[in-house]
């Protein structure tokens, strides 16, 4: 649902770009930020190169900011999925418009939010 | 390896880690070392150590070894599940975990609080290729076993405490607001975990007040850039919420 909230009032962000590499997110330096995020979360050998690329493109302060954002949401997702946080009825209805298109209805944790597991 | 003082000095790295991040990391280590409501300081250090063992297993690295106290089998299993098998955390698994010997819903929430905060600080270090901080020495003392009296079923698996139901000693956990975000309320069976969450969230991302504001306070990434990263991390973890 974070995906949907991210796009509110933010015309620049293409939701499809957050889950599909072939789609431009519409965010400046989005490709480099996603490469670093993928490498950090996925523990890929690309981490150092991805970090260097971000450093060159945006500078060391941006690397730290991005690392902190990644660390923050590595925490938040575990709280959400570890507690089966429910979705309020409004968000449930609103998100139905774009959930399926992004493929997140296929996430197993959907059942935790909707109390189906 | 443990240490009696948490430095988080960041002197050996060239990355410009903000003072507010370093300070929050030091506070995290202090919170970790102290006895909680349901676990001793030594048990909390062992939860953190097990978190690192789980991470090492995922990464194919050598086992860093257990902490100073023995944990219930269900607790160890829960830590590894939360770190390495998050998409398969389910309601049935939660119910089974809190019913196991040595566990309860309150034990689980405090354990989850330790896991996610230590994991987060460690993930920050890993993303920047900074050595992990040694775990602190545990502080003496027994768990208080104080359970919030206003905890009720509100939709999350564990009971939660909404602002109107807070005990006086926990009146601060939502900053005086009359509503609480679901993710904060989810941890409210262990109020110190809500305080910890708020502290580290403010340092790593934005304060709850800053999120509502229009201005970008101290960040380098723009809001769309941060939210792009946040959404990607959620998607990579297959987090529906």
The CB-based long-range contact list for A10-16 (8 Å cut-off, 24+ gap) reads A10/B223, A10/B224, A10/B227, A12/B224, A13/B224, A13/B227, A13/B228, A15/A98, A15/A102, A15/B231, A16/A101, A16/A102
Same domain, B66 and B92: yes
pLDDT at position A16 is 74
Q: Are B82 and B89 in contact (CB under 8 A)?
A: yes
Q: Across the interface, which of B82, B86, B228 has its CB nearest the CB of A33?
A: B228
Give the number of beta-carbon pairs within 8 Å between A and B. 244
Best residue in A10, A31, A64 to probe B by mutation, most B CBs within 10 Å?
Answer: A64
B135 pairs with which residues across the strands? B2
- Give the residue among B211, B59, B188, B196 at the shortest CA–CA distance from B123: B59
Domain extent, residue B70, equals 2-204
Residue B212's pLDDT band (cuts 50, 70, 90): low
Residue B141's CB is within 10 A of a number of other CB atoms, namely 11
- Give the DSSP per-residue string, B26-45: HHHHHHHHS--SSS-HHHHH
The tens digit of pLDDT for each residue in B136-179 reads: 999 999 999 999 999 999 889 999 999 999 999 999 999 999 98
Same domain, B45 and B159: yes
**Pairwise CB contact (< 8 Å): A69 & B204:** yes
Same domain, B162 and B103: yes
- Give the residue among A40, A31, A75, A51 at the shortest CA–CA distance from B239: A75
The answer to whether residue B103 scores a pLDDT higher than 90 is yes
Q: Kindly state whether A51 is in contact with chain B, defined as any CB-CB distance less than 8 angstroms.
A: yes
CA dist., res. A113 & res. A93, Å (int): 13
Q: Kindly state whether A65 is in contact with chain B, defined as any CB-CB distance less than 8 angstroms.
A: yes
pLDDT at position B132 is 96
The answer to whether residue B234 scores a pLDDT higher than 70 is yes
Same domain, B123 and B99: yes
Contact residues on chain B for A86, CB-CB shorter than 8 A: 155-156, 182
Burial class (CB in 10 A: 0-12, 13-18, 19+), B140: exposed
Residue B217 Cα, gap to closest chain A Cα (Å): 12
Q: Are B108 and B76 in contact (CB under 8 A)?
A: no
Same domain, B40 and B68: yes
Burial class (CB in 10 A: 0-12, 13-18, 19+), B179: exposed
The answer to whether residue B83 scores a pLDDT higher than 60 is yes
Q: Which residue of A has its CA nearest to B60?
A: A43
Burial class (CB in 10 A: 0-12, 13-18, 19+), A117: middle
- Give the residue among B86, B90, B129 at the shortest CA–CA distance from B238: B86
The answer to whether residue B121 scores a pLDDT higher than 90 is yes
* Touching B: A residues 3-42, CB under 8 Å: 3, 5-6, 10, 12-13, 15, 17-19, 25, 27-30, 33-34, 36-38, 40-42
Same domain, B94 and B196: yes
**Pairwise CB contact (< 8 Å): A81 & B241:** yes
Q: Are A3 and B224 in contact (CB under 8 A)?
A: no
Contact residues on chain A for B161, CB-CB shorter than 8 A: none
Q: Which residue of A has its CA nearest to B193?
A: A79
Backbone angles phi, psi at B136, to 5 degrees: -75, 165
Strand, coil or helix: A53? helix
Domain extent, residue A47, equals 2-113
Q: Higher confidence at residue B108 or residue A105? A: B108
**Low-confidence winner among A103-117, B68-82, B185-199, B210-224 (lowest mean pLDDT):** A103-117
- What was the ipTM of the complex prediction? 0.93
Q: How many domains does chain A have?
A: 1
Same domain, B130 and B230: no
Contact residues on chain B for A6, CB-CB shorter than 8 A: 224, 227-228, 230-231
- Give the residue among B53, B11, B48 at the shortest CA–CA distance from B30: B48
Rounded to two decimals, what is the model's pTM? 0.90
Same domain, B25 and B107: yes
Backbone angles phi, psi at B2, to 5 degrees: -125, 165
Same domain, B190 and B228: no
- What residues have CB less than 8 Å from A52, skipping those under 6 apart? none
One digit per residue, the tens of pLDDT, for chain A of length 117 reads 554 555 555 555 677 777 777 778 889 999 999 999 999 999 999 999 999 999 999 999 999 999 999 999 999 999 999 999 887 766 667 766 666 666 666 666 666 666 655
Q: Kindly state whether A82 is in contact with chain B, defined as any CB-CB distance less than 8 angstroms.
A: yes
Best residue in A81, A98, A115 to probe B by mutation, most B CBs within 10 Å?
Answer: A81
The gap from C-alpha B118 to its chain's centroid, in whole angstroms, comes to: 6
Q: Are B228 and A18 in contact (CB under 8 A)?
A: yes
CA dist., res. A3 & res. B230, Å (int): 8
Residue B185's pLDDT band (cuts 50, 70, 90): very high
CA dist., res. A81 & res. B156, Å (int): 10
């Amino acid at each position: 649902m974070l995906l949907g909230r991210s796009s509110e009032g933010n015309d620049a962000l293409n939701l499809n770009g957050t889950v599909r590499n072939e789609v431009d997110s519409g965010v400046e330096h989005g490709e480099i930020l996603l490469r670093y995020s993928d490498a950090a979360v996925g523990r890929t050998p690309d981490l150092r190169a991805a970090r260097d690329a971000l450093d060159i493109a945006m500078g060391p302060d941006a690397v730290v900011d991005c690392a902190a954002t990644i660390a923050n949401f590595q925490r938040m997702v575990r709280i959400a999925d570890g507690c089966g946080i429910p979705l309020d009825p409004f968000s449930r209805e609103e998100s139905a418009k774009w959930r399926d298109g992004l493929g997140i209805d296929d996430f197993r944790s959907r059942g935790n939010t909707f109390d189906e597991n | 390896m443990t240490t009696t003082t948490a430095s988080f000095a960041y002197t050996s790295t060239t990355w410009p880690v903000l003072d507010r991040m370093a300070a929050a990391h030091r506070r995290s280590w202090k919170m970790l070392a102290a006895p909680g409501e349901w676990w001793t300081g030594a048990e909390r250090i062992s939860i953190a150590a097990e978190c690192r063992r789980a991470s090492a297993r995922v990464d194919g690295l050598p086992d860093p070894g257990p902490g100073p106290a023995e944990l219930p089998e269900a607790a160890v299993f829960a830590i590894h599940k939360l770190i390495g098998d998050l998409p398969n955390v389910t309601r049935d698994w939660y119910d089974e975990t809190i019913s196991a010997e040595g566990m309860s819903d309150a034990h689980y929430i405090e354990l989850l609080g330790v896991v996610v905060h230590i994991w987060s600080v460690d993930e920050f270090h890993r993303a920047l290729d900074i050595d992990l901080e040694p775990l602190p020495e545990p502080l003496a003392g027994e768990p208080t076993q104080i359970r919030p009296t206003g905890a009720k079923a509100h939709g999350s698996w564990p009971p939660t405490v909404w602002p109107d139901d807070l005990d006086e000693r926990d009146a601060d956990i939502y900053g005086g607001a009359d509503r609480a975000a679901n993710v904060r309320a989810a941890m409210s069976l262990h109020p110190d975990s809500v305080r910890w969450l708020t502290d580290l969230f403010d340092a790593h991302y934005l304060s709850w007040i800053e999120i509502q504001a229009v201005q970008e306070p101290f960040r380098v990434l723009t809001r769309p850039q941060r939210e792009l990263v946040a959404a990607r991390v959620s998607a990579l973890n297959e987090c529906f919420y």
